[in-house]
Amino acid sequence: MRIGTVLEFGRPMAEVAEEVAAWERAGLASVTVGEAYTFDAVTQLAYLAARTETIEIATGVLPLDTRTPTLIAMTAAGLDHVAAGRARLGLGSSGPQVVEGFHGLPFDGVLGKTRETIDICRAVWRRETLRHQGRHYRIPLDPERGTGLGKPLKLINHPVRPGIPISIAALGPRMVELTAELAEGWEPIFFHPERAEQVWGAALAAGKAKRAETLPPLEIIARAPLAVTDGDPAPLLNAAKPQLALYIGGMGSREQNFYNRLVAAYGFAGEAAEVQEHFLAGRTKEAVAAVPDELVRATTLIGDPAHLRARLHALRAAGVSLVNVTPMATDPTERLDAVRTVVAIGKEIS
């Protein structure tokens, strides 16, 4: 099993790059930088590409509405160029809070935009002359809508690879089905391996039934906070709750919160409603306290090496082949030790 990491926002990049390079030497396989509504991911990843040698360089995720499909393709090709063929393009719809609240764009047409964006990206990377007339994107622009001077073009440079792996962050059944049909990888957040089948099994099966034989098997990419301890894990489990509370309670409205729906589908409907009620009322401490311990234990890697081994086996049994960990320790030496421990365990699991 491959072990990667998802970097947190805001630390000085020179410091981050030095640490990632040390983790690479310890066997880390992948590094992902998210975007949300902070610094753009690709600038930071290009810096990391220059400071590393073998590690996969991945966006996680670029919101579809923030760039045109051709710019997404150009950006991924550029990142793959500076990384010498180590890039992975992580895409996602984000949500109305980011797309409407930060970018000022309508949050709609997610399924169609995702499908068309993937088609356009792959055509760009193959250096095809672009002719795409879809519902959401028209390339070149229809003469009656533009000047009539736009002619079909193809990418000037030859990409390092004619195909860059695409992974999709998806939670809803229709988007998961589309991901299983079209993408190389699937990135579900807060992945509960023991309950994944009941939530996504049908959608994954439906998508894989339409999957092209030219695509590799779908890679499942999970995320987990990481802490290695031989002591009582309760304080560390509690420390992982605020992020869950933020997503369950605050990432969206009462009527439209994908993460709240996911936790409810896992079997924690009452707890999800309570977390949201507290969070939206401004009772943050109460929202954090209402996050169920069972959910935290299932979606993290917190405990002694034996516990970590058991959780990685559970993830592998659910089809996960890349686990992106976020070390919780503040001390760099402790973080490196945690990465070494989980990488060593991951190598034992096939």
- Give the relative orientation of helices 110-125 and 69-82 as an angle to the nearest 10 degrees: 50
Q: What fold does the segment set 2-225+301-348 form as a domain?
A: TIM Barrel (3.20.20)
Is residue 186 within 8 Å of 179, Cβ to Cβ?
yes
Mean pLDDT of all residues in the chain? Answer: 96
Residue 3: helix, strand or coil by DSSP?
strand
So what's the pLDDT on residue 253?
82
- Total residues found in the chain within this entry: 350
Q: How do residues 216-237 score in pLDDT, each as one tens digit?
A: 999 999 999 999 999 999 999 9
So what's the pLDDT on residue 243?
96
Asked whether the predicted pLDDT for residue 9 surpasses 90, the reply is no
Q: How do residues 110-151 score in pLDDT, each as one tens digit?
A: 999 999 999 999 999 999 999 999 999 999 998 888 888 889
75: number of Cβ within 10 Å: 21
Secondary structure letter of residue 62 according to DSSP: E
Residues in contact with 98: Cβ distance below 8 Å, sequence separation at least 6, in sequence order:
36, 37, 63
- Model confidence at 65, pLDDT cuts 50, 70, 90, reads very high
Q: Which is it for strands 87-92 and 320-327: parallel, antiparallel or unpaired?
A: unpaired
Strand partners, 314: none
Secondary structure letter of residue 26 according to DSSP: T
CA distance 17 to 266: 36
Mean pLDDT of 262-274: 97
Asked whether the predicted pLDDT for residue 350 surpasses 80, the reply is no
| 116, 323, 327, 12 alpha-carbon torsion, rounded to 10° | -30
Phi and psi at 35, nearest 5°, equal -130, -55
Mean pLDDT of 174-192: 98
Share of the chain above pLDDT 90, in %: 92
So what's the pLDDT on residue 207?
98
Is residue 8 within 8 Å of 326, Cβ to Cβ?
yes
Domain segments of the chain as ranges: 2-225+301-348, 241-299
Secondary structure letter of residue 130 according to DSSP: P
Is residue 57 within 8 Å of 79, Cβ to Cβ?
yes
Asked whether the predicted pLDDT for residue 77 surpasses 80, the reply is yes
So what's the pLDDT on residue 275?
98
